[in-house]
Amino acid sequence: MTLIKSISGIRGTIGGAPEDGLSPLAIVKFVSAYAVFIRKHTKSTTNKIVVGRDARISGPMVKQVVLGTLTGMGFDVVDIDLATTPTTEFAVIQEKACGGIILTASHNPKQWNALKLLNERGEFLNAAEGAEVLRLAEAEDFSYADVDSLGKIIPDNTYKQKHIESVLNLDLVDIKAIAGANFRVAIDCVNSVGGIVLPDLLYALGVKEIFKLHCAPHGNFSHNPEPLPEHLTEISALMKQAKADVGFVVDPDVDRLAIICENGAMFGEEYTLVAVSDYVLSKTPGNTVSNLSSSRALRDVTHSYGCEYNAAAVGEVNVVTKMKETNAVIGGEGNGGVIYPASHYGRDALVGIALFLTHLAKKKMTVSELRATYPPYFISKQKVELTPDIDVDAILAKVKAQFAQYDITDIDGVKIDFPDKWVHLRKSNTEPIIRIYSEAHTMKEAEEIGGQLIQIIKDMCS
82 forms beta bridges with 53
Question: From the DSSP assignment, how many helices (H) and strands (E) are in the chain?
Answer: 15, 20
Task: Indicate the Cα dihedral angle 383, 386, 390, 393, nearest 10°.
Answer: 10
d(CA 94, CA 172): 21
Catalytic residue among 106, 166, 295, 343: 106
Q: Which of 43, 50, 37 is nearest to 81 (CA)?
A: 50
* Residue 308, number of CB atoms within 10 A of its CB: 15
Q: Give the DSSP H or E segment for 444.
A: helix 443-461
Distances (CA, A) of 432 to 386, 428, 458: 5, 7, 13
Q: Give the DSSP H or E segment for 355.
A: helix 349-363
d(CA 396, CA 223): 37
CA angle 191, 196, 197 (to 5 degrees): 120
Task: Indicate the Cα dihedral angle 87, 88, 90, 93, nearest 10°.
Answer: 170
The answer to whether residues 130 and 41 touch, using CB atoms and an 8 Å cutoff, is no
* Residue 170, number of CB atoms within 10 A of its CB: 15
106 is catalytic: yes
DSSP string across 102-124: EE--TTS-TTEEEEEEE-TTS-B
d(CA 236, CA 164): 27
Catalytic residues: 106
